Amino acid sequence: MSTRVQTQGRLINRDRPVSFKFNGTLMKGYQGDTLASALLANDQMLMGRSFKYHRPRGVVASGSEEPNALVNLGEGNRFEPNQRATTTEIFHGLTATSQNHWPTLNYDVGVVNNVLARFLSAGFYYKMFIHPRPFWKHIYEPFIRHSAGLGKAPDAEARDADRYEHFYAFTDVLVIGGGVAGLQSALTAARAGAKVLLLEQTAHLGGRAPVDGGTIDGMEPEAWVEKARAELATLPNAQIRTRTMGAGVYDHGYVLGYERLTDHAPEVAGPRHRLWRIRAQQIITATGAIERPLSFAGNDIPGVMLASAVRDYLVNYGVSPGDRTVVVTNNDDAYRTAIALVQAGLKVPAILDARPEGGGALMDEAKALGIRVETGAAAVKVKGAKRVHSVCRGVQAGEGEVLEEIFCDAVAMSGGWSPVVHLWSHCGGKLTWDADQAAFRPDHTRAPTSHDGQPFVIPSGAADGAFHLSDVLQSAATAGQTAATRVDAEAGDAAAPSATAPDEAPLVPVWMMPQGAQKKLRMKAWLDYQNDVKVSDVQLAAQEGFESVEHTKRYTTLGMATDQGKLSNINGLATLAHALDAEIPQVGTTTFRPPYTPISMGAIAGEARGEIFQPIRKTPMHAWHEANGAHWEPVGHWRRPYAFLREGESVHDAVNREVLATRNSLGLLDASTLGKIIVKGPDAGKFLDMLYTNMMSTLKPGKCRYGLMCTENGFLTDDGVVARIDEDTFLCHTTTGGADRIHAHMEEWLQTEWWDWKVWTVNATEQFAQVAVVGPNARKLLEKLGGMDVSKEALAFMEWKDGELGGFPVRAYRISFSGELSYEIAVPANLGRAFWDKLIEAGKEWDITPYGTEALHIMRAEKGFIMIGDETDGTVIPHDLGLNWAISKKKEDYIGKRAQARSHMTDPKRWKLVGLETLDGSVLKDGAYAIAEGTNENGQTNTQGRVTSTYHSPTLNKGIAMGLVLNGPDRMGEVISFTNGDNPAKKARIVSPVFFDPDGEKQNV
Amino acid sequence: MSDVALALDGASFEGLVKIEELAGQGMVTLRGNLTDKAIVKAVKDVFGVSLPGTRETAFEGDTGALWMSPDEALLLCAYDAAQAKADDLAAKLAGSHALVVNVSDARAVFQLKGSMLREVIAKLAPVDMSPDVFKPGAVRRTRMAQVAAAFWMDDASTARVVCFRSVAEYMFNLLSTAADDSSAVNHFTR
Amino acid sequence: MLLITCPYCGVAAEETELHGGGEAHLKRFGPESSDDDFTGYLFHRENPKGVHFERWRHVNGCGKWFHAARCTNTLEVFGTYSAQTTEPPKDILDTIRAKRPGFKWRDIA
């Protein structure tokens, strides 16, 4: 059984017990424990079930590479699936449950898949579920969906209870990893004067060194780590962030750091995670190395662990995974585990060393402690179900003959170490195969390059393939100096501290144990624990022709789980190489992609949630609208009232009331969102002539003109009224959504095409609140306010004038988008609310009625005015909309003119704008198609037009619509059919799009 | 005028820094060649400051000028004086190719006070706020979270942030969130 | 995420401050131009793996359009320069020639 021992445990505080719950059972750990170490201390080796076969699984590793020990963490609004027990620091009240089983972890019916395993090999799903075709939708997919997925999704009604944030940091040198290599690199670079930021994903500095031993500068590694930390703390140009993972390295020195602030202490206020958005000139990856499992049968039985993990649990947490631990290895490092176990008073029945000659100094030390060492030996298979029971010993050179069964309750395995090259590789760093270490390591000659074309990532320590302590420190110092030099700090001193550690004998690569294992054994030798991929699956993939490592990965799902194959990749591709009879470097690796381990969605979203999820733009009158029943409509980031609802009114009722009140008496519209761009300069007229399809340069000061703007490919992009302020100055109104876009459009042409033209622009949209005063009584209201002459004579239709109304400085435009007598009045934005209030107060005698965007739309449609975004969709030219009158024939050029001469644009078959009236007075569906005879080559009904705007007109009390129809203007009076969702087609008559007051008698008063 | 209503009515928040919507900040946009002698002189006459160099600010009492681009400056003065100064400047520049617009109402201005202001800004803007990089006297146009913004430091513990009026509430909430007392990063101050 | 220095304000701007504007140095063809010329101007674009000349706008910044010479393969930025020119300046071309001997972009080499 696994248990807490009385000695060791450098990271736990035995004076601080912590209680937590696992699958409902109250358990005890200590402050400093990870969930994995605390579970082991409670003899909870079984931590989950595997994904496909539901095999019982225990913890394998002690760090972020853990594939098995994934748990559901927290409850309710703090529930999260797939959290690694090995990186979860426990706290009082932590609640965790295991995953992938039903009904319980111990008794799981899904384990039937394990019995069927020989039928569920790689590619099973692809092969099995193809026939018969209809079965996929109705039988296979629902079944697979039910059983698929790792962990449990949070409740649909749950809302993340925590806060998150971003932080932008800039540094000369970013060191990722706070082991001895990272610390040494940081020291070297910082001493040379570079600004250094060091990130360490765990809560502790020092990495593996305090566990692995040796001396640095004559000190225990732990003492040296503390000294290094203290020195960095005194340097003003150096900073350390623990619990912060370097998640990804991106182009031009951009790095994401993932800081976990309160995961270990949820009672602490403040953001839970902080996403560091770092820009570094140089990045040192001191990310260490990960131990590889060995591929032998039963290597996934709970109790089989990485040798380094066994050592970590013992030394760091004072936990022994078992009383009797067999060590299986192909290298010297695993001997450290055997030695540590025996020194802690635990039993190591044997070390099975696959190497015929065994190891070096560490082997001698182990033997001196009385540990039995078998060389040239193999673990043929591990026996056990939910717990290791024994190891069957054979010879590595053989095919699986069992020579001896060794009883034990844990197995510590080591297949050698792979440098963590992920961050080096994220942005294009290439790898080289190190045959001596049997591992890929960074190829310094092919580093990722930055904006200046120069290398910007430097590997350090074990991440660079340096494994002996003295090599680690020398590599780290060199990396630190290289970084300092590249950021123009002083060259500094690359001297590394002196270090001692036992010399190690070379490893012998072992990709299958024993090397000639029969199929029965290979089918129980796991490569990828999380996705349940075995040696036999990879061999099958190779046999079936999936020879590219990327194809094999997808066919077998090797390395595709949440751990992204941290333990399985090298073993998997070595197996593939062997099956293909190729060399490992020829097979190559799959692509390393960020993030290094999963990061929370909350961290990515940062502060953007709740009321600051996105900017909401508000006009100066927003609060009035809010207080007066506004039913909001988003228009870009703006919120505009769609209608103002009165007590007991439906939206439809409100819209109808607003239209009729405006048509019959007086309406008020907040038009502040309309774009207002000031264009000034001696060439302003010439510029606007290019920008608009109309002639603007001939406009007289004091006058207004409606204009159309097209893109260079001819399509209508915006419209609005232009007012000429003086000889040199124009004010261009744009649509609400067009203000920023059209201002950018203007600047683009001025800056990049006509840069010699003398024109300045300013987007003054938000300087003014603008109110449309609309209806037969509009003039009466303004006259009541007083201050300027607003008579027909003084301010005629399509004129503007500066003046004063009711004591407010205003600019009044006589323009109309409703067909009514209408004034649009601009006041400085900070006076907008007061002006609005004044109008509401003074307008009471005419039952003044504020109206929203829907009433605006209906009134413009009744008049046949087009709306950008309804009648236009990026494929419509002004000619399609019958707007030829707004296209100057005199101008040689305007943006879009040449495109409108292209053959497709002049095709008489282009659909043209008409009005539409249903025969029964009902409303056509928005976007409905006009049905034509016959079908196209795909068997679909032919079309001859579509609806672009459709409303119930309260004024006319019937449905009205506009649409684009083939030869429409020539087919007045004709009745055609429109699609109507799933209902029978609707008949509508083609009519003029001007439904109301065609002669404009109402607005020209 | 008593009818003047700021976007947020002078809202304030106290956390890592004190945040306050500034009343009475007048702003005038100038488009023109900022090295043109006639323009430089007119600005000096009306606002009392010399136009600043690239990404710099210039202040003289409560008037000032911010460099916005090679052909744009934001001139600062008292709110009540802005329209008159804009008209005056426009008149003085009648013979030059320049555009002067009072934009005092188009924007909201927030003052950040406190030693942690660098940190609050660094949570929202992709800008190096290190004391050795961004100093009083510099102005930066950028984005803060999802909206365009400009900010500058008046002194080591005072900054002003400008954004469009319509997003004043978003900006205030952003700044207040970033300045939450429990969210110190301690990156610039240790 | 790219880091490109705006030649107008000197800011080394990250991509979120910038807006990409496609290929640089297009010659505008207007009314009366041939179909071929106009189609070329409107639609045909270089798509090199290697040296490219592009338009960018420092939109969340000084608002200026500028040009960048950039390698689309390694993402190296050889230099940025004024938008108000019809061809890359000599110093930029010299830099590229030194770093990418034999490069060709349209008729520039």
Q: Nearest CA to CA, how far is B83 from chain C (Å)?
A: 25
Q: Please state, in angstroms and rounded to a whole number, the distance separating the CA atoms of residues A350 and B109.
A: 74
Ranges for all domains in chain B classified under CATH 3.30.70.1520: 25-102
Residue with tokens 């306050």: B20
Find out whether B98 and B32 touch, Cβ atoms under 8 Å. Answer: yes
Calculate the dihedral angle through the C-alpha atoms of A207, A213, A215, A220, rounding to the nearest 10 degrees. Answer: 80
Q: Please state, in angstroms and rounded to a whole number, the distance separating the CA atoms of residues B110 and B175.
A: 9
What domains appear along chain A, each with residue ranges and CATH number?
3-119 (3.10.20.440), 164-289+419-500 (3.50.50.60), 293-415 (3.50.50.60), 519-587 (1.10.10.1100), 626-673+767-848 (3.30.1360.120), 675-765 (3.30.70.1400), 908-991 (2.40.30.110)
Has residue B1 got a pLDDT over 60?
no
Residue pLDDT, tens place only, A150-183: 778 888 999 999 999 999 999 999 999 999 999 9
Q: Please state, in angstroms and rounded to a whole number, the distance separating the CA atoms of residues A959 and A926.
A: 12
SS3 state at A529: coil
Tell me the pLDDT of chain C (109 aa) as tens digits: 999 999 999 999 999 999 999 999 999 999 999 999 999 999 999 999 999 999 999 999 999 999 999 999 999 999 999 999 999 999 999 999 999 999 999 999 9
Q: Please state, in angstroms and rounded to a whole number, the distance separating the CA atoms of residues A675 and A911.
A: 30
What integer pLDDT is reported at residue A148 of this predicted model?
60
Has residue A69 got a pLDDT over 60?
yes
Has residue A118 got a pLDDT over 80?
no
Number of inter-chain CB pairs under 8 A, A vs B: 139
Closest CA to A27 of A99, A87, A77, A97: A97
- Beta bridge partners, A339, equal none
Which residues are CB-neighbours of A106 under 8 A, at least 6 positions away?
A46, A386
Residue pLDDT, tens place only, A251-268: 999 999 999 999 999 999
SS3 state at A864: coil
Q: How confident is the prediction for chain A on average, in pLDDT?
A: 95
Q: Please state, in angstroms and rounded to a whole number, the distance separating the CA atoms of residues A6 and A898.
A: 87
Residue pLDDT, tens place only, A394-412: 999 999 999 999 999 999 9
* Mean pLDDT on B137-148: 98
- Looking at residue A140, what DSSP letter applies? I
pLDDT band (50, 70, 90) for residue B131: very high
Residue with tokens 């300027």: A788
Question: How would you label A70-79 residue by residue, b for 16+ Cβ within 10 Å and e otherwise?
Answer: bbbbbeeeeb
> Considering the domain B12-23+107-179 in this protein, what is its CATH number?
3.30.1360.120
Closest CA to A441 of A450, A432, A449: A432
Q: Please state, in angstroms and rounded to a whole number, the distance separating the CA atoms of residues A53 and A66.
A: 18
Q: Please give the backbone phi and psi of residue B162, each rounded to the nearest 5 degrees, phi first.
A: -115, 135
What integer pLDDT is reported at residue A149 of this predicted model?
63
Pairing mode, strands B107-113 and B158-164: antiparallel
Q: Please state, in angstroms and rounded to a whole number, the distance separating the CA atoms of residues A851 and B157.
A: 47
Mutate to test the interface with B, among A166, A241, A604, A766 (most CBs of B within 10 A): A766
What integer pLDDT is reported at residue A489 of this predicted model?
83
Q: Please state, in angstroms and rounded to a whole number, the distance separating the CA atoms of residues B97 and A680.
A: 9
Q: Nearest CA to CA, how far is A106 from chain B (Å)?
A: 43
Q: Does the distance separating the beta carbons of A254 and C3 come in below 8 Å?
A: yes
CB-count burial class (<10 Å; 0-12, 13-18, 19+) for A104: exposed
Token pair for residue B178?
């970033």
Report the neighbours of C using a cutoff of 3 or more CB pairs below 8 angstroms. A, B
SS3 state at A660: helix
Token pair for residue A892?
């040689």
What domains appear along chain C, each with residue ranges and CATH number?
3-99 (3.30.2270.10)
**Minimal-distance CA residue of chain A relative to B97:** A681
Token pair for residue A959?
């449905």
- Looking at residue A900, what DSSP letter applies? G
* Torsion region of A672: left, alpha or beta (phi above 0 gives left; psi -120 to 50 gives alpha): alpha
SS3 state at A126: helix
- Beta bridge partners, A411, equal A304, A326
Residue pLDDT, tens place only, A583-629: 999 998 888 999 999 999 999 999 999 999 999 999 999 999 999 99
Find out whether B157 and B114 touch, Cβ atoms under 8 Å. Answer: yes
Q: Please state, in angstroms and rounded to a whole number, the distance separating the CA atoms of residues A369 and A359.
A: 15
Find out whether A517 and A400 touch, Cβ atoms under 8 Å. Answer: yes
Q: Please give the backbone phi and psi of residue A849, each rounded to the nearest 5 degrees, phi first.
A: -130, 110
Find out whether A451 and A252 touch, Cβ atoms under 8 Å. Answer: yes
Q: Nearest CA to CA, how far is A446 from chain C (Å)?
A: 12
Ranges for all domains in chain B classified under CATH 3.30.1360.120: 12-23+107-179
Q: Please state, in angstroms and rounded to a whole number, the distance separating the CA atoms of residues A484 and A481.
A: 5
- Residues in chain A closer than 8 A to C84 (CB atoms): 751-752, 755
Q: Nearest CA to CA, how far is B173 from chain C (Å)?
A: 20
Mutate to test the interface with B, among A164, A168, A743 (most CBs of B within 10 A): A168
Report the neighbours of B using a cutoff of 3 or more CB pairs below 8 angstroms. A, C
- Residues in chain A closer than 8 A to B176 (CB atoms): none
What integer pLDDT is reported at residue A146 of this predicted model?
61
Residue pLDDT, tens place only, A265-306: 999 999 999 999 999 999 999 999 999 999 999 999 999 999
- Residues in chain A closer than 8 A to C44 (CB atoms): none
Helix axes A739-752, A684-691, angle to 10 degrees: 120
Instruction: Give the CATH fold of the B25-102 domain.
Output: Alpha-Beta Plaits (3.30.70)
Q: Please state, in angstroms and rounded to a whole number, the distance separating the CA atoms of residues A468 and A975.
A: 88
- Looking at residue A892, what DSSP letter applies? S
pLDDT band (50, 70, 90) for residue A114: confident
Q: Please state, in angstroms and rounded to a whole number, the distance separating the CA atoms of residues A380 and A394.
A: 6
What integer pLDDT is reported at residue A54 of this predicted model?
84
Residue pLDDT, tens place only, A686-736: 999 999 999 999 999 999 999 999 999 999 999 999 999 999 999 999 999
C-beta atoms surrounding A946 within 10 Å: 17
What integer pLDDT is reported at residue A121 of this predicted model?
73
Closest CA to A185 of A409, A482, A536, A555: A482
Residue pLDDT, tens place only, A489-528: 877 778 999 999 999 999 999 999 999 999 999 999 999 9
Q: Please state, in angstroms and rounded to a whole number, the distance separating the CA atoms of residues A754 and A682.
A: 13
Calculate the dihedral angle through the C-alpha atoms of A927, A931, A937, A939, rounding to the nearest 10 degrees. Answer: 90
- Residues in chain C closer than 8 A to B55 (CB atoms): 9-11
What integer pLDDT is reported at residue A128 of this predicted model?
67
Find out whether A455 and A442 touch, Cβ atoms under 8 Å. Answer: no
Which residues are CB-neighbours of B157 under 8 A, at least 6 positions away?
B113, B114, B115, B117
How far lies A910's CA from each of A875, A905, A965, in Å?
11, 8, 8
Residue pLDDT, tens place only, A818-874: 999 999 999 999 999 999 999 999 999 999 999 999 999 999 999 999 999 999 999
Q: Does the distance separating the beta carbons of A761 and B31 come in below 8 Å?
A: yes
Q: Nearest CA to CA, how far is C1 from chain A (Å)?
A: 5
Which residues are CB-neighbours of A380 under 8 A, at least 6 positions away?
A296, A297, A392, A393, A394, A400, A401, A402, A513, A514, A517, A521
Find out whether B107 and B26 touch, Cβ atoms under 8 Å. Answer: no
H-helix or E-strand containing B117?
A: helix B117-122
- Residues in chain B closer than 8 A to C16 (CB atoms): 126, 143
* Nearest CB to C17 within list B54, B68, B142: B142
Name the E strands within B35-118.
57-60, 63-69, 72-78, 99-102, 107-113
Find out whether A814 and A800 touch, Cβ atoms under 8 Å. Answer: yes
Which residues are CB-neighbours of A162 under 8 A, at least 6 positions away?
A78, A262, A271, A272, A273, A602
